[in-house]
Structure 1
Amino acid sequence: MADNTNCKQAPGVIIPRIDRNRCEGKDDCVRVCPYDVFEIAVLPAAERADLSLAGRLKGFFHGYHQAFAVRADQCRACGLCVSACPERAITLVRAA
Protein backbone atom coordinates (compact mmCIF):
# COMPACT_ATOMS: atom_id res chain seq x y z
CA MET A 1 0.00 0.00 0.00
CA ALA A 2 1.16 3.51 -0.81
CA ASP A 3 2.28 5.93 1.87
CA ASN A 4 -0.43 8.58 2.07
CA THR A 5 1.26 10.94 4.54
CA ASN A 6 1.69 13.61 1.82
CA CYS A 7 -1.82 13.24 0.42
CA LYS A 8 -3.80 16.44 0.35
CA GLN A 9 -7.18 15.19 -0.90
CA ALA A 10 -9.45 12.19 -1.02
CA PRO A 11 -9.15 10.17 -4.26
CA GLY A 12 -10.64 11.88 -7.31
CA VAL A 13 -11.11 15.40 -5.92
CA ILE A 14 -7.98 16.64 -7.69
CA ILE A 15 -6.76 15.05 -10.94
CA PRO A 16 -3.62 15.44 -13.06
CA ARG A 17 -3.82 17.38 -16.32
CA ILE A 18 -1.12 16.64 -18.90
CA ASP A 19 -0.05 19.29 -21.39
CA ARG A 20 0.21 17.31 -24.64
CA ASN A 21 2.54 19.94 -26.16
CA ARG A 22 5.08 19.44 -23.38
CA CYS A 23 4.94 15.74 -22.47
CA GLU A 24 7.78 13.61 -23.84
CA GLY A 25 6.72 10.33 -22.22
CA LYS A 26 9.84 9.95 -20.10
CA ASP A 27 7.86 8.02 -17.43
CA ASP A 28 9.08 9.92 -14.37
CA CYS A 29 5.44 10.36 -13.33
CA VAL A 30 4.81 6.62 -13.69
CA ARG A 31 7.76 5.80 -11.44
CA VAL A 32 6.93 8.25 -8.62
CA CYS A 33 3.14 7.94 -8.41
CA PRO A 34 2.22 5.86 -5.34
CA TYR A 35 -1.31 5.28 -6.70
CA ASP A 36 -0.49 3.97 -10.19
CA VAL A 37 -2.35 6.82 -11.88
CA PHE A 38 -0.15 7.04 -15.00
CA GLU A 39 0.79 4.89 -17.98
CA ILE A 40 2.92 5.66 -21.02
CA ALA A 41 1.28 5.08 -24.40
CA VAL A 42 1.36 6.46 -27.92
CA LEU A 43 -0.75 9.57 -28.52
CA PRO A 44 -3.49 8.59 -31.00
CA ALA A 45 -3.16 10.09 -34.49
CA ALA A 46 -6.49 11.89 -34.13
CA GLU A 47 -5.16 13.84 -31.13
CA ARG A 48 -1.87 14.78 -32.81
CA ALA A 49 -3.66 17.32 -35.01
CA ASP A 50 -4.42 19.40 -31.90
CA LEU A 51 -0.72 19.79 -31.05
CA SER A 52 1.18 23.00 -31.71
CA LEU A 53 4.02 22.90 -34.26
CA ALA A 54 6.53 22.52 -31.41
CA GLY A 55 4.36 19.80 -29.86
CA ARG A 56 4.20 17.88 -33.16
CA LEU A 57 7.97 18.10 -33.61
CA LYS A 58 8.61 17.00 -30.05
CA GLY A 59 6.09 14.19 -30.42
CA PHE A 60 7.61 12.99 -33.67
CA PHE A 61 11.09 12.76 -32.18
CA HIS A 62 9.79 10.88 -29.13
CA GLY A 63 7.59 8.49 -31.10
CA TYR A 64 4.50 10.28 -29.77
CA HIS A 65 4.98 8.48 -26.44
CA GLN A 66 3.21 10.39 -23.70
CA ALA A 67 1.90 9.96 -20.19
CA PHE A 68 -1.80 9.31 -19.69
CA ALA A 69 -3.67 9.61 -16.39
CA VAL A 70 -5.55 6.35 -16.91
CA ARG A 71 -6.57 6.12 -13.26
CA ALA A 72 -7.02 9.83 -12.54
CA ASP A 73 -9.77 8.99 -10.05
CA GLN A 74 -7.10 7.45 -7.80
CA CYS A 75 -5.08 10.70 -7.57
CA ARG A 76 -4.74 12.07 -4.04
CA ALA A 77 -2.93 15.30 -4.93
CA CYS A 78 0.43 14.43 -3.38
CA GLY A 79 2.16 16.40 -6.17
CA LEU A 80 4.99 13.92 -6.72
CA CYS A 81 4.22 13.72 -10.45
CA VAL A 82 4.31 17.52 -10.81
CA SER A 83 7.73 17.67 -9.14
CA ALA A 84 9.11 14.70 -11.09
CA CYS A 85 8.08 15.81 -14.59
CA PRO A 86 11.16 17.24 -16.35
CA GLU A 87 8.99 18.98 -18.99
CA ARG A 88 6.64 20.56 -16.43
CA ALA A 89 3.77 19.00 -18.35
CA ILE A 90 1.63 18.03 -15.35
CA THR A 91 -0.61 20.24 -13.27
CA LEU A 92 -3.18 19.24 -10.67
CA VAL A 93 -6.71 20.52 -11.19
CA ARG A 94 -10.06 20.09 -9.48
CA ALA A 95 -12.08 17.29 -11.08
CA ALA A 96 -15.12 18.42 -13.03
Structure 2
Amino acid sequence: MARDSSKPECKQEAGGVFAPVIDRMRCEAKEDCVEACPYDVFEVHKLSDDDKRAMPLIARVKAWVHGNRQAFAVRAEECHACGLCVTACPEHAIKLMRVASA
Protein backbone atom coordinates (compact mmCIF):
# COMPACT_ATOMS: atom_id res chain seq x y z
CA MET A 1 0.00 0.00 0.00
CA ALA A 2 1.45 3.37 -1.00
CA ARG A 3 1.95 5.93 1.75
CA ASP A 4 -0.03 9.17 1.47
CA SER A 5 2.71 11.79 1.15
CA SER A 6 0.39 14.52 2.45
CA LYS A 7 0.30 12.87 5.90
CA PRO A 8 3.14 13.53 8.35
CA GLU A 9 5.49 10.88 9.70
CA CYS A 10 3.68 9.94 12.88
CA LYS A 11 4.87 8.25 16.04
CA GLN A 12 2.03 5.74 16.32
CA GLU A 13 -0.58 3.88 14.37
CA ALA A 14 -4.16 5.05 14.87
CA GLY A 15 -6.29 3.82 17.71
CA GLY A 16 -3.99 2.80 20.38
CA VAL A 17 -1.31 4.27 22.53
CA PHE A 18 -2.11 8.01 22.70
CA ALA A 19 -5.20 10.19 22.54
CA PRO A 20 -5.60 13.98 22.62
CA VAL A 21 -7.04 15.48 25.80
CA ILE A 22 -8.41 19.02 25.71
CA ASP A 23 -8.17 21.24 28.77
CA ARG A 24 -11.63 22.82 29.11
CA MET A 25 -10.12 25.64 31.19
CA ARG A 26 -7.93 26.73 28.26
CA CYS A 27 -9.74 25.98 24.98
CA GLU A 28 -11.03 29.08 23.16
CA ALA A 29 -12.35 27.33 20.04
CA LYS A 30 -9.93 28.99 17.64
CA GLU A 31 -9.98 25.85 15.45
CA ASP A 32 -6.19 25.65 14.98
CA CYS A 33 -6.31 21.97 16.01
CA VAL A 34 -9.00 21.27 13.42
CA GLU A 35 -6.87 22.82 10.69
CA ALA A 36 -3.61 21.19 11.84
CA CYS A 37 -4.81 17.61 12.27
CA PRO A 38 -4.33 15.52 9.11
CA TYR A 39 -6.60 12.77 10.51
CA ASP A 40 -9.74 14.86 11.25
CA VAL A 41 -9.64 14.03 14.95
CA PHE A 42 -11.09 17.40 16.06
CA GLU A 43 -14.29 19.37 15.64
CA VAL A 44 -15.31 22.64 17.26
CA HIS A 45 -18.91 22.84 18.32
CA LYS A 46 -21.25 24.33 20.90
CA LEU A 47 -20.94 23.05 24.45
CA SER A 48 -23.91 21.05 25.69
CA ASP A 49 -25.55 21.93 28.98
CA ASP A 50 -23.91 18.82 30.50
CA ASP A 51 -20.49 19.95 29.22
CA LYS A 52 -20.97 23.37 30.81
CA ARG A 53 -22.22 21.93 34.12
CA ALA A 54 -19.06 19.80 34.36
CA MET A 55 -16.84 22.89 34.08
CA PRO A 56 -15.75 25.15 36.94
CA LEU A 57 -17.41 28.58 37.00
CA ILE A 58 -14.38 30.43 35.59
CA ALA A 59 -14.23 27.99 32.66
CA ARG A 60 -17.96 28.48 31.97
CA VAL A 61 -17.49 32.25 31.92
CA LYS A 62 -14.52 31.93 29.58
CA ALA A 63 -16.51 29.58 27.32
CA TRP A 64 -19.40 32.06 27.28
CA VAL A 65 -17.01 34.82 26.15
CA HIS A 66 -15.95 32.56 23.26
CA GLY A 67 -19.50 31.72 22.16
CA ASN A 68 -19.87 28.56 24.27
CA ARG A 69 -17.83 26.68 21.68
CA GLN A 70 -14.81 24.45 22.23
CA ALA A 71 -12.80 21.80 20.46
CA PHE A 72 -13.63 18.14 20.92
CA ALA A 73 -11.58 15.09 19.94
CA VAL A 74 -14.55 13.43 18.26
CA ARG A 75 -12.40 10.84 16.50
CA ALA A 76 -9.68 10.33 19.12
CA GLU A 77 -9.25 6.74 17.96
CA GLU A 78 -7.84 8.14 14.70
CA CYS A 79 -5.00 9.97 16.51
CA HIS A 80 -1.50 9.02 15.30
CA ALA A 81 0.31 11.08 17.99
CA CYS A 82 1.98 13.36 15.45
CA GLY A 83 1.66 16.28 17.88
CA LEU A 84 0.60 18.82 15.26
CA CYS A 85 -2.48 19.73 17.32
CA VAL A 86 -0.38 20.31 20.44
CA THR A 87 1.93 22.64 18.55
CA ALA A 88 -0.90 24.44 16.75
CA CYS A 89 -3.04 25.25 19.80
CA PRO A 90 -2.37 28.86 20.83
CA GLU A 91 -3.85 28.27 24.30
CA HIS A 92 -1.75 25.13 24.98
CA ALA A 93 -5.03 23.33 25.67
CA ILE A 94 -4.14 19.97 24.11
CA LYS A 95 -1.96 17.19 25.46
CA LEU A 96 -1.35 13.74 24.11
CA MET A 97 -2.02 11.28 26.91
CA ARG A 98 -1.25 7.58 27.03
CA VAL A 99 -4.40 5.51 26.75
CA ALA A 100 -4.86 2.94 29.53
CA SER A 101 -4.63 -0.56 28.11
CA ALA A 102 -7.40 -3.02 28.79
**Length-normalised TM-score, structure 1:** 0.91
Corresponding residue to 2:20 among 16, 19, 22: 16
Name which of 56, 69, 72 aligns with 2:73: 69
Larger Rg belongs to: 2
Give the alignment of 1:80-91 within 5 angstroms. 80-91=84-95
Distance 1:85 1:94 in 2: 19
Amino acid at match of 1:20: R
Gaps of 5+ in 2: none
Identity %: 55
CA RMSD of aligned residues (A): 1.2
Aligned mates of 1:24, 1:81 — CA distance in 2: 14
Shift in Å at residue 53 of structure 1? 2.5
**What's the CA shift string for 1:4-63, capped at 9, x where partnerless?**
32x011112210000111111110000000101000111111121222222111101111
Match of residue 48 from structure 1: 52
Q: Quick one: which of 70, 75, 96 aligns to 1:92?
A: 96
Paired amino acid for 1:11: A
Q: d(CA) in 2 for partners of 1:64 and 1:28?
A: 17
Distance in 2, Cα, partners of 1:86 & 1:57? 19
What is the aligned counterpart of 2:29 among 11, 15, 25?
A: 25
4+ long deviations beyond 2 Å: none
